[in-house]
């Protein structure tokens, strides 16, 4: 197996020192803080991020359980996009538009590993992406085990969990459970093996967990509560990270110091990759053409 | 009795065309036939029965040089047919797109024309590929104009080549205020560059006009004073953008239009008996070759009031601004003068663009198929007319008369009186774009044209 965590220059625990960002953040507020810093300093002039859906309101507001890509050009817009949605938001779709009607020259983008793979592919073979590759200035990846289409989330919450979508206060996926916390404080846990079939099918053949092609990738795995694990992978990532550190944007802890640490990230990555390779082999066995593994390095 | 010479293919323009020329003993053209030999693409037939939303996208593919012109004429014609008005800001974006595309095309035409011209005061032709100055700076300047024009098209239209932002009922997106600011910066940068380029072009054109001869194939060919003169009329439907059958006061009348078949216009079978191996590039067609222009031509012949008409920058300037210089040089000068109109118009329209304005009409009716609607645009090479009938959201009839189609017959006439070696200089004055001038033509088993024209 190719290194499950990919190539990186540095890995550490971090959380932002920006209180406003931290307050609304899922974990260490890394993505929002980095993007907002990059916006302020002109490293990027806008970023494609997933934000609560504007087209379909929920409790009379933007729907946090249904994400949609937006091109954020201000800190406020970034703040509105905090927290991970568990349904896929087609961010790559907006990257071209960001360079067109939005008039951006240096675009930041956040995405799950498959999206980062798409972005990199677009940079290498810019078919239908004329003028886009050199305008991608910062690529931030988020760890990803799997995602659910919005309809699946509704089904899990309303059918398996027995609560209305309107009552949901928080959704968390982790430690083997799909956890729903309601407005009235009730916690419902649905084991993830029960929801497997409701996951996005493509996720079952996905071989990247830690967004190995991003400039910087981050997620909660392995880190203490309220912190994030951060991989600095590329030259661009390194420069941006260094500048942000100099500006005092993050506090960090070396990865060795705290449990569970890197081992936990690796464990998740290996688990995902092994399981999905198995799916690929099964598909091969039943005669469906197996997918090429883009991460194989020999 | 004169001789017949053929230049095939003609060079430095889009598409594939050829010249069959009857010349007298001095080599002066007596009958000129300029014909398109680009294979037929049949887009006008391909769009029949297609949902109207698809059709402008398909028709944009008529040509990769002026796709904007076709995409715009198609949406405008379809909107006219179904009776839809678009919001003001959508129209503004379309005009910006249109002007940017014209800017790009005029700059491209400069690249094709310059190798015919001389550096003033010398007998050196301008080779844009030379690393020497001033050639290098000229080439850079032209490419910068094209970059700016394509940058503007990309932002306002979604893509630099085939615009994706145009749609039936307006545009998909308005642009952000940041994008507007970027467009303004680009257009402002263009103002100076374009002014310099225009002055430069006019200077070298005037210099060519004053010369007695030009070198072609190692020989000095005399330049006649009336190079490219013709006595046909002009047609332009608007000084800037275009018009449609919806407008009450019409700048032209399609009832006066008749399309005839090449069969009735070009010469019949002839044998080439003049051959010149020194003519660039690779010499003319070998003597003894039999050609048949009226059969080989893939372009139609539109007549207006029974005569060929010239379309393009000079026609627009002549009809709307009193420009009256004839001939190839006059035509080229008019083209350069349009440069400024285009940049200033982009800036003016940007000024009025409201970036939070609506750009899409709602609802969009499906069309009742009763009226044959038309719309025109005035792209770089002249009047582009699209006719369409839309029934229940599907295209029932489609026909286009594109700029170079208009120009084929008039230019063929304008060839007379010039030394045959200068024929290509004359056709380049029309900045031909041959592919889009190619029409669907149906032949019966005896190879006679039987295609039914939509307009007659
Ligand atoms: S598991 Fe893979 S395919 Fe599924 S969303 Fe995550 S990165 Fe994309």
Confidence at residue B447, expressed as pLDDT on a 0 to 100 scale: 56
- A202, A268, A271, A275: which to mutate for ligand 1, most atoms within 8 A of CB? A202
Residue in chain A closest to B182 (alpha carbons) equals A103
Q: Looking at residue A295, what is its pLDDT?
A: 66
Quick check: is B197 in a domain?
A: yes
Average pLDDT over residues B256-264: 88
Q: Taking residues B157-166, what's their average pLDDT?
A: 94
What ranges make up the beta strands (E) of B174-332? 213-216, 219-222, 233-234, 242-244, 257-260, 270-271, 290-291, 301-304, 309-310
pLDDT of residue A84: 57
- What element of type H or E holds A250? strand A250-254
Instruction: Report whether pLDDT(B284) > 50.
Output: yes
Residue-wise pLDDT for B68-111, tens only, equals: 999 999 999 999 999 999 999 999 999 999 999 999 999 999 99
Q: What is the pLDDT of residue A230?
A: 96
pLDDT at residue A290, rounded to an integer: 58
Out of A277-291, B102-116, B243-257, B320-334, pick the least confident: A277-291
pTM tops 0.80, yes or no: yes
* No. of helices (H) and no. of strands (E), chain A: 9, 11
Nearest-atom index, ligand 1, CA of A113: 7
Output the CA A86–ligand 1 centroid distance in Å: 11
Q: Where are the domains of chain A?
A: 10-145+202-284, 148-199
ipTM: 0.80
CB spacing of B176 vs A45 below 8 angstroms: no
Point out which residues pair with A52 in neighbouring strands: A67
Q: For residue B423, is it within any domain? A: no
Residues paired with B142 in a beta bridge: none
Average pLDDT over residues B296-301: 89
CA distance B372 to B360: 24
For B350-359, write each residue's pLDDT tens digit.
999 999 999 9
Can you tell me the mean pLDDT for B115-124?
A: 95
pLDDT at B390: 95
Encode pLDDT of A199-210 as tens digits: 988 899 999 999
Quote the pLDDT of residue A2: 62
Query: Topology of domain A148-199, per CATH?
Result: Nuclear Transport Factor 2; Chain: A, (3.10.450)
Q: What is the pLDDT of residues B32-55, one digit of tens each?
A: 999 998 877 788 889 999 999 999
* Closest ligand 1 atom number to CA of residue A209: 7
- pLDDT tens-digit readout, B361-383: 999 999 998 889 999 999 999 99
- What total number of domains does chain B contain? 1
> Is the predicted pLDDT of residue B152 greater than 90, yes or no?
yes
Whole-number percent of chain B with pLDDT over 90: 84
- pLDDT bucket at B240, cuts 50 / 70 / 90: very high
Query: Encoding tokens for residue B115?
Result: 């190798």
Q: Where in the sequence is the domain holding B347, given as residue range(s)?
A: 39-256+298-407
The segments of chain A whose pLDDT lies below 50 read 1, 297-298
Confidence band (pLDDT; 50, 70, 90) for B455? very low
Q: How many CB atoms lie within 10 A of CB A275?
A: 12
Whether B92 and chain A come into contact, CB under 8 Å, resolves to no
B 169-228 residues with CB < 8 A to A? 173-176, 178-183
* CATH number of the domain bearing residue B91: 1.10.645.10
Burial class (CB in 10 A: 0-12, 13-18, 19+), A154: middle
Residue B134 counted as domain residue: yes
């Amino acid at each position: 197996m190719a290194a499950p965590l990919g190539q990186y220059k540095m890995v550490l625990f971090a959380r932002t020192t920006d209180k406003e960002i931290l307050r609304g953040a899922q974990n260490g507020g890394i993505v929002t803080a980095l993007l907002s810093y990059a916006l302020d300093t002109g490293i990027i002039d806008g970023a494609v991020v997933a934000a609560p859906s504007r087209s379909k309101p929920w409790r009379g507001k933007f729907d946090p359980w249904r994400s949609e890509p937006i091109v954020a050009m201000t800190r406020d817009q970034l703040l509105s996009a905090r927290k991970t949605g568990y349904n896929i938001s087609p961010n790559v779709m907006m990257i071209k538009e960001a360079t067109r009607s939005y008039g951006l020259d240096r675009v930041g983008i956040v995405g799950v590993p498959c999206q980062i793979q798409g972005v990199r592919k677009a940079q290498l073979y810019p078919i239908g992406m004329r003028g886009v590759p050199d305008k991608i200035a910062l690529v931030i990846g988020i760890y990803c085990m799997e995602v659910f289409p919005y309809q699946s989330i509704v089904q899990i919450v309303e059918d398996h969990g027995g609560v209305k979508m309107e009552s949901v206060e928080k959704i968390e996926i982790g430690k083997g459970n799909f956890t729903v916390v309601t407005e009235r404080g009730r916690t419902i846990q649905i084991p993830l093996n029960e929801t497997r079939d409701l996951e996005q099918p493509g996720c079952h053949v996905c071989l990247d967990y830690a967004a190995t092609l991003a400039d910087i990738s981050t997620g909660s795995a392995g880190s203490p509560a309220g912190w994030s694990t951060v991989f600095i992978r590329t030259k661009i990532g390194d420069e941006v990270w260094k500048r942000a550190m100099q500006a005092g944007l993050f506090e960090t802890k070396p990865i060795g110091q705290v449990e569970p640490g890197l081992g936990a990230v690796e464990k998740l990555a290996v688990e995902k990759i092994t399981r999905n390779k198995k799916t690929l082999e099964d598909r091969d066995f039943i005669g469906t053409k197996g997918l090429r593994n883009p991460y194989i390095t020999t | 009795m004169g001789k017949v010479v053929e230049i095939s293919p003609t060079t430095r323009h889009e598409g594939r065309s050829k010249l069959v020329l009857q010349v007298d003993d001095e080599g002066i053209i007596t009958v000129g036939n300029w014909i398109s030999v680009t294979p037929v693409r049949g887009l006008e037939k391909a769009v029949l029965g297609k949902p109207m939303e698809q059709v402008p996208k398909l028709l944009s593919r008529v040509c990769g040089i002026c796709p904007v012109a076709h995409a715009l004429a198609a949406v405008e014609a379809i909107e006219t047919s179904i009776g839809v008005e678009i919001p003001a800001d959508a129209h503004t974006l379309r005009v910006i797109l249109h002007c940017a595309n014209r800017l790009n095309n005029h700059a491209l035409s400069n690249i094709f024309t310059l190798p015919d011209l001389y550096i003033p005061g010398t007998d050196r032709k301008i080779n844009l590929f030379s690393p020497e100055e001033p050639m290098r700076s000229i080439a850079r300047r032209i490419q910068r104009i094209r970059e700016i024009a394509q940058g503007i098209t990309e932002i306002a239209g979604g893509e630099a080549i085939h615009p994706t932002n145009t749609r039936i009922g307006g545009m998909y997106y308005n642009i952000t205020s940041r994008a507007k600011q970027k467009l303004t910066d680009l257009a402002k940068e263009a103002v100076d560059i374009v002014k310099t380029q225009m002055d430069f072009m006019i200077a070298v054109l005037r210099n060519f006009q004053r010369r007695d001869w030009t070198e072609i194939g190692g020989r000095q060919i005399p330049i006649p004073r009336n190079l490219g003169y013709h006595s046909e009329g002009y047609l332009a439907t608007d000084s800037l953008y275009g018009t449609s059958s919806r407008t009450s006061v019409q700048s032209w009348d399609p009832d006066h239009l008749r399309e005839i078949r090449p069969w009735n216009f070009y010469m019949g079978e002839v044998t080439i008996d003049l051959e010149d191996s020194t003519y660039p590039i690779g010499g003319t067609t070998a003597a003894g070759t039999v050609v048949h222009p009226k059969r080989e031509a893939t372009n139609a012949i539109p007549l207006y009031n029974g005569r060929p008409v010239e379309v393009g920058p000079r026609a627009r300037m002549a009809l709307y601004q009193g420009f009256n210089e004839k001939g190839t040089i006059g035509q080229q000068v008019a083209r350069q003068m349009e440069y400024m109109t285009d940049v200033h118009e982009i800036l003016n329209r940007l000024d009025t663009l409201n970036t939070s304005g609506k750009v899409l009409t709602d609802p969009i009716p499906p069309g009742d198929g009763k009226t044959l609607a038309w719309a025109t645009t005035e792209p770089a090479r002249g009047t582009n007319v699209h006719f369409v009938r839309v029934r229940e959201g599907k295209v029932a009839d489609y026909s286009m008369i594109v700029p170079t189609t208009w120009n084929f017959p008039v230019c063929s006439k304008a060839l007379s009186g010039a030394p045959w070696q200068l024929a290509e200089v004359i056709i380049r004055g029309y900045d031909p774009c041959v592919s889009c001038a190619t029409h669907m033509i149906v032949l019966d088993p005896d190879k006679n044209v039987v295609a039914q024209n939509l307009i007659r």
